[in-house]
Amino acid sequence: MRTSAVLLRSEERELLISNTAGCEKPAFFGGRAMLIRKLREEDIDLILGLTAGNTLFYKYHPPVADYMSIQNDMHAVPPGVEKKDKYYMGLFDRDDLIAVMDLIVHYPQKKTAFIGFLMIKAEEQHHGLGSEIVADLCASLKAHGFEKVRLAVDHGNPQSLAFWQKNGFSLTNEDGRYRPMERMLSDR
């Protein structure tokens, strides 16, 4: 039996994985047992290693990540969002960081989740892992009452745009620094 990658629990509000440093959840992707956990400042060097291999992303989204930018991203929330609604998570194959996701729930509206960042280790790309992560995330969000998932891609980045379109996201009519995309969860 396959365990969903993003496990949710119910309390007064619905949460994706516990936002405490010690919480780890098992997951299975590509036939491999992996572990999802909240990323900590001690993981920044691992995150830097993962980002260093993704040169195409930084061609369209400069500057290249550094220690301070990752540290800031781990804690940054949009105005009006509480830190408890932010999940900066890593997917590990043993001690190897395979993927990083920055997720904010109930943003920019209730019942909407916002993916601020998803990056897969370069060597792990083009094998379906990213699509598996997105599918499990969307299924878990839908099961817990979320109606849509939003994100934004950089102008001109063909890899990001193609990946998100392949995974059911559509460009919105909004214009700005980034290209907003969304996926409704009710029709899937």
Return the number of other C-beta atoms located less than 10 Å from residue 129's C-beta: 20
> The domain that contains 29 carries what CATH number?
3.40.630.30
Is 177 inside any structural domain?
no
| Owning domain of residue 84 | 8-151
Given pLDDT bands bounded at 50, 70 and 90, which one contains residue 1? very low
Q: What's the pTM value of the predicted model, to 2 decimals?
A: 0.84
Per-residue model confidence (pLDDT) at position 118: 94
Is pLDDT above 60 for 44? yes
**Segment 146-179, tens digit of pLDDT:** 999 999 998 888 889 999 999 999 999 877 778 9
For residue 3, is it within any domain?
no
Question: How, if at all, do strands 24-29 and 32-38 pair?
Answer: antiparallel
The answer as to whether 2 is a domain residue is no
Higher pLDDT pick, 78 / 124: 78
Q: Would you say residue 164 lies in a domain?
A: no
Q: How many domains does the chain have?
A: 1
Please check the confidence at residue 39 and state whether its pLDDT lies above 50.
yes
Q: Do the domain assignments include residue 187? A: no
Please check whether residue 160 lies inside any domain of the structure.
no
100 and 118 in contact (C-beta within 8 Å)?
A: yes
Distances (CA, A) of 116 to 9, 87, 103, 181: 22, 10, 6, 11
Query: Does residue 23 surpass a pLDDT of 70?
Result: no
The reply to whether 169 falls in a domain is: no
Asked, for residue 179, whether it belongs to a domain, the answer is no
Of 64, 63, 55, 60, which is closest to residue 156 (Cα–Cα)? 60
What does the DSSP assignment read for 33-61? EEEEEE--GGGHHHHHHHHHT-HHHHHHS
